Amino acid sequence: MKIIILQGPNLNLIGVRSAQTGRRTTLDKINRDLRRTAHELAVDITILQTHRIDKAITFIQRNRNTADGLLLAPMSWARHELTLLETLRLVNLPMVEVLLSRDFDFGPAAGESNYSAFCAATIIGDPETVFSAGLQHLTQVFNADR
């Protein structure tokens, strides 16, 4: 099973936000945890964090025929990026969306997203746990469809 993971704008600055809450969450820690979870689930993952919507769309389009699912952390794209929505609808991959709790929210209010209706699930939580939970949920969705 192959999962692509798209992390949206400013997630690379999660350490700045986490320092404001007295924690030490970084994108590197999040990605290490994702890789560990993927290894435990016997899943291949490819991760892209970008601020550029054209790069995000190219990533999805290039991987659409080999990926079994998409884990999406849209960040500020959650309410303002309809081109990504169109792409996601066209490629029609099983998808789980992760949104961050209000302490770490970078864009829209937690829980509000243009993509939620097209996802198998939207998981909201702390960045230290929500990404792995999203990956686990996506593998369950894939296995249930088989």
| Full pLDDT tens readout for the chain, 146 residues | 999 999 999 999 888 766 666 677 899 999 999 999 999 999 999 999 999 999 999 999 999 999 999 999 999 898 888 999 999 999 999 999 999 876 555 555 556 688 988 999 999 888 889 999 999 999 998 787 76
Structural domains in the chain, sorted by start: 2-145 (3.40.50.9100)
| Residue located via tokens 């769309």 | 57
Residue 13's contacts (CB-CB under 8 Å, 6 or more residues apart) are none
| Residue 47: per-residue pLDDT | 98
10 Å CB burial of residue 52 (0-12, 13-18, 19+) is exposed
Q: What is the pTM of this model?
A: 0.90
| Residue 128: per-residue pLDDT | 86
To 10 degrees, the CA torsion angle through 61, 62, 67, 69? -30
10 Å CB burial of residue 46 (0-12, 13-18, 19+) is middle
User: How many Cα atoms occupy the beta-carbon half-sphere of 104 within 13 Å?
Assistant: 27
Angle at 68 between CA 78 and CA 115, to 5 degrees: 15
